[in-house]
């Protein structure tokens, strides 16, 4: 963790990239490993480690089996996110929100299969970390045009644009933006609004958000 933090500091100084760390439990390693990971996150929480998450095989066990780990992380003051609604359907998203009380959902695209859930997500302000390029590459959706990010955005869901794993999926943020522009005819105003949503949902302190907001506003001017 300390080595990653040192690399993040160097990256910010040399490349202007601001990063924060989310300690992530792997679902298919089981609840006990998740508790150990949450304990590690709590012990290393600070200016760099600001969040706790859950990734891995969504079909292994149930979200509530990891509730204790999330309770530990929450009590330590960590922000919370968890993967759901990528390979599993809308019930995984609903159960994750209810049982783990997260602020953000990693992926969450298959919530679109239940419009009542989409409405609940929009009303609650839960943020979706959507990864269109990844979803298309893995065959979850046939194309960017068929990806639900457009409908979710139109329905008031707080969506963000993410690359998931850039080297593996041969993508970049620029490519995601270009593909979404071509699919939905989104203009700079839409992308600026989504970027602001991402900044508002970022697991960082208020001073860092203020500084990054100035950068975002300058780029949008």
* Domain that residue 87 falls in: 23-220
Q: Are 102 and 70 in contact (CB under 8 A)?
A: yes
Domains: count for the chain: 1
Q: How far apart are CA 102 and CA 59, in angstroms?
A: 18
The answer to whether residue 56 is domain-embedded is yes
Give the tens place of pLDDT for each residue, 20-54.
999 999 999 999 999 999 999 999 999 999 999 99
Q: How far apart are CA 12 and CA 14, in angstroms?
A: 6
The answer to whether residue 129 is domain-embedded is yes
The answer to whether residue 17 is domain-embedded is no
Give the tens place of pLDDT for each residue, 2-19.
899 999 999 999 999 999
Q: How far apart are CA 55 and CA 24, in angstroms?
A: 7
The answer to whether residue 146 is domain-embedded is yes
Nearest to residue 180, comparing CAs of 201, 199, 159? 159
Residue range 100-129: average pLDDT?
99
The answer to whether residue 3 is domain-embedded is no
Give the tens place of pLDDT for each residue, 73-99.
999 999 999 999 999 999 999 999 999
The answer to whether residue 40 is domain-embedded is yes
Q: What does pTM read for this prediction?
A: 0.95
SS3 assignment, position 155: coil
The answer to whether residue 8 is domain-embedded is no
The answer to whether residue 92 is domain-embedded is yes
Give the tens place of pLDDT for each residue, 100-110.
999 999 999 99
Residue range 150-159: average pLDDT?
99
Residues identified as active-site: 86
CATH of residue 37: 3.20.20.140
Q: What is the 3-state secondary structure (H, E, C) of 16-74?
A: CCCCCEEEEEEHHHCHHHHHHHHHHHHHHECCCEEEEEEECCCCCCCHHHHHHHHHHHH
In this prediction, residue 220 has a pLDDT band, given cuts at 50, 70 and 90, of confident
Q: How far apart are CA 132 and CA 141, in angstroms?
A: 8
Percent share of the chain, pLDDT over 70: 100
Output the pLDDT for position 1: 87
The values of phi and psi at residue 196, to 5°, are -65, -40
């Amino acid at each position: 963790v300390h080595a990653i933090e040192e690399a993040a500091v160097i990256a910010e100084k040399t490349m202007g990239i601001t990063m924060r760390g989310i300690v992530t439990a792997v679902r298919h390693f089981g609840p006990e490993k998740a508790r150990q990971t949450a304990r590690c996150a709590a012990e290393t929480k600070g200016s760099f480690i600001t969040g706790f998450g859950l990734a891995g095989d969504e079909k292994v066990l149930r979200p509530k089996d990891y509730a204790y780990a999330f309770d530990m992380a929450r009590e330590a003051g960590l922000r919370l996110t968890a993967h759901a609604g990528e390979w599993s359907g809308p019930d995984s998203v609903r159960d994750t929100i209810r049982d783990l009380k997260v602020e953000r959902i990693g992926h969450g695209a298959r919530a679109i299969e239940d419009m009542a859930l989409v409405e609940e997500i929009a009303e609650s302000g839960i943020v979706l970390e959507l990864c269109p390029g990844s979803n298309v590459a893995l065959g979850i959706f046939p194309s960017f045009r068929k990806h639900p990010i457009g409908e979710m955005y139109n329905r008031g869901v707080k969506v963000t644009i993410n690359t998931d794993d850039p080297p593996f999926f041969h993508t970049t943020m620029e490519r995601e933006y270009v593909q979404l522009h071509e699919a939905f005819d989104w203009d700079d105003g839409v992308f600026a609004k989504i970027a602001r949503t991402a900044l508002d949902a970022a697991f960082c302190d208020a001073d860092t958000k203020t500084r990054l907001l100035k950068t975002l506003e300058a780029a949008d001017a």
